[in-house]
Amino acid sequence: MTDQTAPPPRHQTNPVLSVRDFSVDYLGAHTVHAVQHVSLELGRGEILGLAGESGCGKSTLAYGVTRLLRPPAMITSGQAVFHSREGFEIDISALTGEELRQFRWDKIAMVLQGAMNSLNPVISIRSQLEDVFTCHRPDMGRRERLDRCGELLERVGVERRRLRAFPHELSGGMRQRVMIAMALALDPQVLIMDEPTTALDVVVQREILDEIARLRAEFGFAVVFITHDLPLLLEIADRIAVMKAGRIVELNGSFELYTQPQDAYTKRLLASFPSLLGERGDFIRSGAYVPGADETDGKDG
């Protein structure tokens, strides 16, 4: 985290996802501009953090890029282009019907907000995992499918015999692992994780984060990690985008963002979290004084 050599800017040389001038409105009597003219590049294999408080449009942006919005949410401008590792490009905004369906999960998989409710409560883990293969890999045989599902579970540290279980029989952490296993099923190049650890207790949260880091190292997918927990992002993300009222106010490497926040909002956001080591307060004060910063510092200083 504290390495001083600047990493090569992967997002410039080898992007996997480019978002350009992206806007989403919630239509209605008072139209809300939830995402406004956002542009960003996601490098192959990098972890990009998307931070901001609830309502800042970070989830809306992610759902917009993957075209999972429901009315009254509407994409009003911009496009998202996926650069496959095989060398071709897909303009996600232009996909229709069946193409869009086949694109989903195969290239970009998601672990959604409210992971506890992301699994269908009345069908077994096995058939929810198998669904992915029957839809995207129709040629796969029965035997192979079952094997793959078992492997996936083991890959995220869940026993194979849990295939038979129903969601209510699993703990919260285990359900989240199942969701991650499901997301990895088709070897996607991008994984979007929307508050994947919010509902979990701290120990389980740590385990899941380690798991994600390990799997990323193994399979090389890029991650868009959405959370309001900035300290967590500082730790795991390569770069962080801070969103406020539908705009990205700051986008920089984690270390730079942490040590030299440029935007006043980023500074306030950083200041509002108690620091574990206490060094952060010094940085901020050396940069610019932020009212209220010492209040939170005093607690652990």
Partner 1 sequence: MSNTPDPTPGTPPLAPPDLDLVEETGAVERVIERRRSITSLLPSRSPKLIAGLVILAVIVLYAIVMPHFVMDPRAISTDMLKPPGYGGHLLGTNQAGQDIWAQLAYGTGGSLVIGLTVGALATVLSAFFGVFGAYVGGAVDEGFALFTNVILVIPGLPLTIVIGNYVPVQQRGLFLISVVLAITSWAGSARVLRSVTMSVRNRDYVAAARISGEKTWRVLVVEILPNLIPVMASQLIFSVIFAILGEAGLSFLGLGANGTYTLGTILYFANQSLALTQGAWWWFIPPGLMIALLGMALSLVNFSIDEIINPKLRQSTRAAQRKWGLTPAQIKKSQEENLR
Partner 2 sequence: MRFYVQKLLFYVAAFWAALTLNFLIPRMMPGDPVSIILMKLAASGQPVTPETRQAIAIQLGGIGEGSWQSQYWRYLGNLAHGDLGVSISNYPVKVTDILQQALPWTITLIGLATVIAFLAGISLGIFAGWKRGSWLDNLIPAATAFQSVPYFWLALVLLLVFSRYLQWFPLGQGYDTMAFPILHPGLNWPFLSSAAYHAVLPALTIVLSSVAGWMLGMRNMMVSTLSEDYILTAQAKGLKPGRVRFTYAARNAVLPSLSGFAISLGFVVAGSIVTEQVFSYPGIGFQMWKAVSNNDYPLMQGTFLVISVAVLGANLLVDLLLGLIDPRTRARS
H or E stretch including 128? Answer: helix 125-136
Q: Which is nearer to partner 2, 17 or 249 (CB)?
A: 17
Binds partner 2 (CB under 8 A): choice among 24, 34, 51, 112: 112
Complete DSSP assignment for 15-48: EEEEEEEEEEEE-SSS-EEEEEEEEEEEETT-EE
Please report how close the Cβ of residue 236 comes to partner 1 at its closest, in angstroms: 17
Sheet of 47-51, strand order: 108-111, 190-194, 222-227, 47-51, 239-244, 247-253
Site for partner 1 in 60-99 (CB under 8 A): 60, 67-74, 96-97
Binds partner 2 (CB under 8 A): choice among 19, 109, 223, 242: 109
- Is 280 near partner 2 (CB under 8 A)? no
- Is 278 near partner 1 (CB under 8 A)? yes
The window from 75-83, 117-125, 215-223, 268-276 that contacts partner 2 (CB under 8 A) reads: 117-125
Residue 282 CA from chain centroid, whole number = 30
- Is 228 near partner 1 (CB under 8 A)? yes
Tokens of 209: 């984060």
Phi, psi of 81 (to 5 degrees): -115, 130
How far, in Å, CA of 64 to CA of 80, rounded? 9
Q: Cβ distance 93 to 79 under 8 Å? A: yes
Binds partner 1 (CB under 8 A): choice among 89, 102, 282, 286: 282
- Is 177 near partner 2 (CB under 8 A)? no
How far, in Å, CA of 225 to CA of 25, rounded? 22
The window from 81-89, 161-169, 216-224, 273-281 that contacts partner 2 (CB under 8 A) reads: 161-169
- Is 281 near partner 1 (CB under 8 A)? yes
Amino acid identity, position 109? A
Phi, psi of 109 (to 5 degrees): -105, 165
Site for partner 1 in 25-54 (CB under 8 A): 26-30, 32, 34, 53-54
Residue whose C-alpha is closest to residue 150's, from 130, 131, 132 = 130
- Is 266 near partner 2 (CB under 8 A)? no
How far, in Å, CA of 32 to CA of 73, rounded? 9
Tokens of 71: 């009315």
- Residue 74 interacting entry, from partner 2, partner 1, none, C-beta within 5 to 8 Å by type: partner 1
Binding site for partner 1 (CB under 8 A): 26-30, 32, 34, 53-57, 59-60, 67-74, 96-97, 100-101, 228-229, 244-246, 268-269, 272-274, 278, 281-282, 292, 294-299, 301
Binding site for partner 2 (CB under 8 A): 66, 68, 101-106, 109-110, 112-115, 117-123, 131-132, 135-136, 166, 168-169, 179, 182
